[in-house]
Chains A and B, each alone.
With several copies, the nearest count.
Chain A
Amino acid sequence: MIIDDIKQAVIEGDATEVKKLVALALEQQVPAEEILKNGMISGMGEVGRLFEEGEYFVPEMLIAARAMQGGLGILRPVLVEQDVKSAGKVVLGTVKGDLHDIGKNLVGMMLEGAGFQIVDLGTDVSPEKFIEAIREHQPDIVGMSALLTTTMPNMDKTIKAFNEAGVRQSVKVMVGGAPVTKKYAGEIGADGFAPDANQATAEAKKLLVG
């Protein structure tokens, strides 16, 4: 089955092979949604499993993700045409005053592997910039990160700004980072919390179901 081959090529991180196979599958009239879900996302799911079990590290995941991106480049026009939705759209950013971004980047990468569409606003992101991005990109989820005890309170500020701007109801808010706890997430009215990049994907999926 060509779908299984695509999956395997994603797992092995072979971008050239993935691109070739996706093109071939489209030629063979395999539905784009099936290529995406059962081929590529399923492959990334397996990559995630290998990672969980200590068989893969992030570098291997990144290679697989890039292979998947290669296939997506070919698939995306068809998907848009057929109106196939991504798993969800996520706007990510490190809050104002905070320059740490490796954790946020990891979250973005893992979400992407799980089929989410990512809009990364970078670091030192003001409430206004978040709001702008919500209006522009209409994401399902906004993910905020903070690594300092003195920038974490900006999560609270940002959520309050969402309320004032009237955009709070349109998105789910997820928070994470070294000083952040589930308790704090609850106190500021965030919808989700992930203690590390690893658990962010499961939490994002839960948010979109719930």
Chain B
Amino acid sequence: MNYSSLAIPRLSDFLFGVCPRPLTLKNGLVIGGGQVYPEINFTLDSMIITAESMPQVYEQYTQMITGVCDRAVELHAPGLVVEFELLPDLTLVPEWGAEVTKILRSTLDETEAKHGLKTGLRVTPNDIREFARPPLMRQGRYVEDMFRSFELCAEAGADMLAIESTGGKEIHDEAILNGDLPMSVFALGVLGSRDMAYLWERITEISRRCGVVPSGDSACGFANTAMVLAEQHFIPRVWAAVIRVLTVARSLVAFEHGAVGPNKDCAYEGPYIKAITGYPIALEGAEASVAHLSPIGNIAKAVPDLWSNESVQNVKLLGAMAPTVSVEQLIYATRLMNVASARGAKEAGMLRDWWVESDSHLDPQAYVLRPDVVLKISEEIIAEPTPYKRTRRSAFAALEVLRQANAAGELNLSKMENRWLERLSRAAEGLPEDEDEFIAGILPQVNRKKIALSEYGL
């Protein structure tokens, strides 16, 4: 499967809660079929995970899922998706992650049976391949344990499988800090994309075998790392915005190898994925500030099908345990969306546009999430045939959009940001069209201590 046209070509059809290829879970919950549902994610409060502490781990997850389900019932949520993102330790010992999956599944099933609340469970093993340094992407015990974690979690009751994979990240962190556009393109458009093809063929195969949904990936470790660094003024905002768009072709590879959505919440490249593939996406914003601050808290609400809090640890707040607080916030956020869309597509579009307008002029990272910009750039991306060429084209398109917005006064960039916009534009111009030529040119600059290129077929 190679995408070459937009699944959602018209802005008026590019809305939250609806998509051309909605997904129906086993129990009938439809994602992207009209309503936006909350997707809640939670994690342990400070504790060490060992065989001895597993009873406490299970107890905490039981407490969290119970609190969340009770509150969702109380607030008459029309549906609820829970994401269980495995901690590294729970993936390193796949049986532990599977046991937690079972706990979550059984509480969700009980809630559905008792109160009729339709639920879904997304399980996201950790990409533990990084535990080897340099990471071994296709061999060794970490790879085996990771795939076993997918299988056991699927068998333990996951509805959907996902991952935040890290192929290429071993050199991308430095590329971010160096403001090194070609290296970022190499990490995402070459390394990451190749790894995604490898990974997602296997995840899709496991999913088919186990009867679960291969949902999607997230370039979180790339673009959200950049976003957080930009929030701390460590790197330019325009650079973080460009990196966001550079991740699109990489994340699209999952869908070209079997993923069918909903794409992961922290993947802010999601709107692009939705426009191109037509599959539903999760997204997160203001309610996810518990996990990370961001300049895109409202605009992220423009086109999601699931609305998430990213993740919150199990600490006590005055109102309730934090996961319960989070699910309440997500339910109210989705209530508003669903009321507007129940009135009609015009009303949903108005609400979408207000969210867009409220953020898009204040930060280039918000600007590249404008639905009209997403459609425009997405069209350019899929005009290219390969991940590298698409990523290269992403750089051109994102930079062009930002330059135009800046010139038109739609973005108010500082002197420093302006300087970086120029600098990145020059760097982009130097990207050769031919992938082999690009690779040959960049390889001498790659830190071989950090990466095993053979793991990427290089």
Task: List A residues at the B interface (Cβ < 8 Å).
Answer: 51, 54-59, 62, 97-99, 101-102, 105-106, 109, 122-124, 148-150, 152-154, 157, 178-181, 183-184, 196-198
Contact = CB atoms under 8 A, between A and B. Distances in A.
Could you tell me the dominant secondary structure of chain A's interface residues? loop
Contacts of B234: 57-58, 106, 197
Contacts of A58: 177, 229, 234-235
B46 A97 contact: no
A157 B53 CA distance: 15
Given A97-B88, A106-B177, A150 B47 contact: yes
A97 B233 contact: no
Contacts, number: 83
28 contacts: A55-B416, A56-B416, A57-B234, A57-B235, A57-B420, A59-B179, A59-B180, A59-B235, A97-B88, A99-B130, A99-B131, A102-B177, A105-B177, A106-B177, A124-B131, A124-B133, A148-B88, A149-B47, A149-B313, A150-B47, A150-B48, A150-B49, A153-B46, A153-B48, A179-B46, A184-B46, A197-B232, A197-B234
Nearest to B237: A57
Nearest to A124: B131
B89 A181 contact: no
Interface of B: 43-49, 87-89, 130-131, 133, 173-174, 176-180, 225, 229, 232-236, 313, 316, 318, 414, 416, 420
Among A106, A122, A149, A152, chain B packs the most CB atoms within 10 A around the CB of: A149
A178 B318 contact: yes
B130 A150 contact: no
Given A62-B177, A105-B173, A179-B316, A152 B46 contact: yes
3 closest Cβ contacts across the A-B interface? A59-B179, A58-B234, A153-B48
B64 to A, nearest CB: 13
B233 A57 contact: yes
A74 B327 CA distance: 50
Given A59-B180, A179-B318, 7 more contacts: A57-B234, A59-B235, A98-B88, A99-B88, A152-B46, A179-B46, A198-B232
